[in-house]
């Protein structure tokens, strides 16, 4: 079992001010995978003081100096990648191939992207009678969720480092092991003391102290809507910038063409990836009413074809992250049954043969957009299929949601896909499964207010200064 009991503050591994620990449970075994310390306000205060002290020199470093540090992190990250994959598998139950593949790969991708953006970034621009200057905002509190631990952490830490900010990372309790390894990577790579600090513990303690702290200039938060709202309130008195990346109920529109069955199958399998614990998952699958029977057949086969089991084995889907999440998902499946949605795959309880570990059946309902299972984020492997009559109605249903994080369109009529993409009220649209590390990511409506990834991810951490008559 891993014992990660020290915090990383001011370039040193230090004991918490008050000793208190908590186990990190492996959701596949329900046994402890590690133990962390639970920090208090005193630990946060030390970390903020270290970040504040480091800011004047780090913020004045040259692009070349920061690029050198990022490249040194890159070498160290590559070396520790297998350990990160193992930790992610243990802490949140991602299948080994996924944990070692996309999970650690996303972190590496954000690091490479930060390097590419920094190389080209113009921190000063002459514009008419003024020079515009981008400057690091200061000391940042980074608060992250457990569902894609390296992705969510790296998409904050590397842009913050690249722009010259200093920071305190508060990782999720459920997935705190990989964050500890990341701190070891930054330490070994020679990030100067105080620039990056790690304090573990509960969000209601560490997160609240960071959000209210007089000496923290900005909070970048990824997680649930209620916590995002609370952070904004806590940060209001000190007029902090708060970047929020919240939940979603993203629509996936399958167009009416000869690829429909294939596209429905891949959307269904995609929904089950990472056990459905992806904020931008296409959890509402919109299919033409005239092709509903075919869509049901394809989705049923795809969901039943998703193998579920031990993350160390060769399965497509592992458990969900915790008993708490398992219970929430079961309640939503029951809710779907109660509100009259048609269950076409999966359902209540664990998959057959799995009686230990928080495994959920890949579940598909056919329902309507007004049902609770179509409006609220379930954050599990549960898909809702909704019928549409024509493209206009598909867009209307897609936009009829409190959220606006992602959207998907698949089909051979690219012009139609583009026109739908233009009309969707979401921060990102993926047409025919495109992918780009430089594309900004963030939400409309209740999905948040920030934009991460690529160059827009830098702007989260930058102040704008006008130098007039320069
Ligand atoms: P969460 O409960 O909101 O927790 C996120 C982080 O906030 C954790 O580190 C948590 O600490 C901390 N926290 C809890 N209460 C806090 C408080 N009062 N003040 C400050 N911080 C606090 O979310 P989650 O359950 O980990 O993650 C699932 C949610 O994240 C879903 O809604 C999902 O859609 C969303 N998400 C969004 C994106 C995106 O980019 N838009 C990406 C991934 C996930 P603890 O460790 O103590 O819980
Ligand atoms: Mg939570």
Whether the Cβ atoms of residue 410 and residue 263 lie closer than 8 Å to each other:
yes
From 177, 223, 236, 444, give the residue whose CB has the most ligand 1 atoms within 8 Å, as the site to mutate.
Answer: 223
Pairing of strands 124-127, 130-136: antiparallel
Neighbours of 136 (CB within 10 A): 25
Q: State what percent of residues in the chain have pLDDT above 90.
A: 100
pLDDT given at position 198:
98
Distance 379 CA to ligand 1 centre (A): 12
- Nearest 5°: phi and psi at 258? -75, -5
Q: 68 and 119: one domain?
A: yes
Token couple for 91: 């802490």
Q: Whose CA is nearest to atom 32 of ligand 1?
A: 224
Neighbours of 109 (CB within 10 A): 18
Helix (H, G, I), strand (E, B) or coil at 225: helix
Token couple for 203: 């969000």
Give CA–CA dist 336/330, Å, rounded: 10
Q: How sure is the predictor about 127, in pLDDT bands with cuts at 50, 70 and 90?
A: very high
- Residue by residue, DSSP assigns 117-144 as HHHH--SEEEETTEEEEEEE--EEEEE-
Q: 150 and 293: one domain?
A: no
Tens digit of each residue's pLDDT (9 = 90 or more) over 220-276: 999 999 999 999 999 999 999 999 999 999 999 999 999 999 999 999 999 999 999
Ligand located closest to 457 CA: 1
What total number of domains does the chain contain?
2
Q: 42 and 174: one domain?
A: yes
Q: 0.85 exceeded by the pTM? A: yes
Token couple for 260: 């429909």
Contacts of 75 (CB under 8 A, 6+ apart): 189
Distance 325 CA to ligand 2 centre (A): 9
Q: Per 3-state DSSP, what percentage of the chain is helix, strand, and coil (rounded to 5)?
A: 45, 20, 35
Which positions are annotated as active-site residues?
245, 279
DSSP tag of 448: B
Mean pLDDT along residues 408-425 = 98
Ligand located closest to 146 CA: 1
How far, CA to CA in Å, does 279 sit from each of 61, 87, 409?
35, 21, 17
Give CA–CA dist 207/205, Å, rounded: 6
Distance 203 CA to ligand 2 centre (A): 9
Q: 73 and 221: one domain?
A: yes
Q: 256 and 239: one domain?
A: no
DSSP tag of 238: T
Give CA–CA dist 90/419, Å, rounded: 43
Give CA–CA dist 458/470, Å, rounded: 24
Q: How sure is the predictor about 10, in pLDDT bands with cuts at 50, 70 and 90?
A: very high
Average of per-residue pLDDT values in the chain = 98
Query: Which domain CATH number covers 267?
Result: 3.40.309.10
Token couple for 333: 């499946």
Token couple for 1: 């079992």
Token couple for 162: 């690249």
Ligand located closest to 143 CA: 1
Mean pLDDT along residues 140-167 = 98
Tens digit of each residue's pLDDT (9 = 90 or more) over 318-341: 999 999 999 999 999 999 999 999
Q: 364 and 236: one domain?
A: no
Q: Whose CA is nearest to atom 37 of ligand 1?
A: 246
Helix (H, G, I), strand (E, B) or coil at 44: helix
Contacts of 469 (CB under 8 A, 6+ apart): 129, 130
How far, CA to CA in Å, does 311 sit from each of 92, 96, 185?
10, 5, 25
Give CA–CA dist 238/217, Å, rounded: 8
The closest alpha carbon to 459, from 163, 39, 93, belongs to 163
Q: How sure is the predictor about 6, in pLDDT bands with cuts at 50, 70 and 90?
A: very high
Q: 118 and 238: one domain?
A: yes
Q: 129 and 228: one domain?
A: yes
pLDDT given at position 176:
97
Distance 80 CA to ligand 1 centre (A): 26
Ligand located closest to 226 CA: 1
Distance 352 CA to ligand 1 centre (A): 31
Q: 241 and 259: one domain?
A: no
**Pocket of ligand 1 from Cβ distances under 6 Å:** 143-147, 152, 170, 172-173, 202-204, 207-208, 211, 222-224, 227, 230-231, 245-248, 279, 377, 379, 405, 443, 448
Q: 237 and 317: one domain?
A: no
pLDDT given at position 253:
98
pLDDT given at position 62:
98
Tens digit of each residue's pLDDT (9 = 90 or more) over 266-285: 999 999 999 999 999 999 99
Q: Whose CA is nearest to atom 14 of ligand 1?
A: 203
Domain containing 297: what range?
251-438
Distance 50 CA to ligand 2 centre (A): 28
Q: Whose CA is nearest to atom 34 of ligand 1?
A: 247
Per residue, the 3-state secondary structure of 150-187, as one string, reads: HHHHHHHHHHHHHHCCEEEEECCHHHCHHHHHHHHHHH
pLDDT given at position 352:
95
User: Which H/E stretch holds residue 220?
Assistant: strand 218-222
Q: 70 and 132: one domain?
A: yes
Q: Whose CA is nearest to atom 11 of ligand 1?
A: 203
pLDDT given at position 54:
99
Query: Which domain CATH number covers 184?
Result: 3.40.605.10
Token couple for 215: 């000496």
The alpha carbon of residue 396 and the mean position of all alpha carbons in its chain are separated, in whole angstroms, by 27
Give CA–CA dist 470/463, Å, rounded: 18
Burial class (CB within 10 angstroms; exposed 0-12, middle 13-18, buried 19+) of 365? buried
Q: 57 and 198: one domain?
A: yes
Tens digit of each residue's pLDDT (9 = 90 or more) over 446-466: 999 999 999 999 999 999 999
Q: Whose CA is nearest to atom 43 of ligand 1?
A: 279
Vertex 114 angle, CA 58 and 96, to 5°:
115
The closest alpha carbon to 167, from 178, 181, 154, belongs to 154
Token couple for 459: 């702007």
């Amino acid at each position: 079992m891993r014992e990660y009991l020290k915090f990383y503050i001011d370039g040193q591994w230090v004991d918490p001010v008050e000793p208190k620990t908590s186990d990190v449970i492996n959701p596949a075994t329900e046994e402890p995978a590690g133990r962390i310390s639970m920090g208090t306000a005193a630990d946060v205060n030390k970390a903020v003081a270290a970040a504040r002290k480091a800011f004047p020199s780090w913020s004045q470093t040259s692009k070349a100096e920061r690029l050198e540090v990022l490249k040194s992190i890159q070498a160290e990250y590559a070396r520790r990648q297998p350990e990160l994959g193992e930790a992610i598998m243990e802490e949140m139950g991602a299948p080994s191939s996924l944990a070692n593949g996309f999970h650690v790969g996303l972190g590496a991708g954000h690091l490479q992207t930060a390097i590419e953006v920094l190389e080209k970034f113009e921190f000063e621009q002459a514009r008419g009678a003024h020079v515009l200057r981008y400057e690091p905002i200061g000391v940042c509190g980074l608060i992250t969720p457990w569902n894609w631990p390296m992705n969510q952490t790296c998409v904050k830490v590397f842009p913050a480092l690249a722009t010259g900010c200093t920071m305190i990372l508060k990782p999720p309790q459920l997935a705190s092991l990989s964050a500890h390894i990341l701190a070891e990577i930054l330490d070994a790579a020679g990030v100067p003391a105080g620039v990056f600090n790690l304090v573990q513990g509960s969000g209601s303690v560490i997160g609240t102290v960071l959000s209210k702290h007089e000496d923290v200039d900005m909070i970048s938060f990824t997680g649930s809507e209620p916590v995002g709202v609370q952070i904004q309130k806590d940060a209001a008195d000190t007029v902090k910038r708060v970047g929020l990346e919240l939940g979603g109920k993203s629509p996936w529109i399958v167009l009416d063409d000869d690829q429909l069955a294939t596209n429905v199958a891949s959307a269904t399998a995609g929904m089950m990836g990472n056990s459905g614990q992806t904020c931008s998952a296409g959890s509402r699958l919109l299919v033409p009413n005239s092709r509903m029977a075919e869509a049901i057949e394809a989705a049923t086969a795809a969901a039943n074809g998703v193998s579920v089991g031990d993350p160390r084995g060769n399965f497509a889907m592992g458990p969900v992250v915790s008993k708490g999440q398992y219970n929430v998902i079961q309640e939503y499946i029951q809710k779907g049954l109660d509100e009259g949605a048609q269950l076409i795959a999966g359902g209540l309880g664990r998959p057959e043969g799995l009686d230990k570990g928080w495994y959920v059946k890949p579940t598909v309902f056919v329902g309507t957009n007004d049902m609770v299972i179509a409006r609220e984020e379930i954050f599990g492997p549960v898909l809702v299929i909704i019928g549409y009559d024509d493209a206009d109605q598909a867009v209307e249903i897609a936009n009829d949601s409190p959220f606006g994080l992602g959207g998907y369109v698949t089909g051979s009529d690219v012009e139609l896909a583009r026109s739908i993409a233009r009309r969707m009220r979401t921060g990102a649209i993926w047409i025919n499964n495109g992918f780009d590390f430089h594309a900004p990511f963030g939400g409309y409506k209740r999905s948040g207010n920030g934009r991460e990834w690529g160059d827009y991810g830098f702007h989260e951490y930058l102040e704008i200064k006008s130098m007039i008559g320069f």
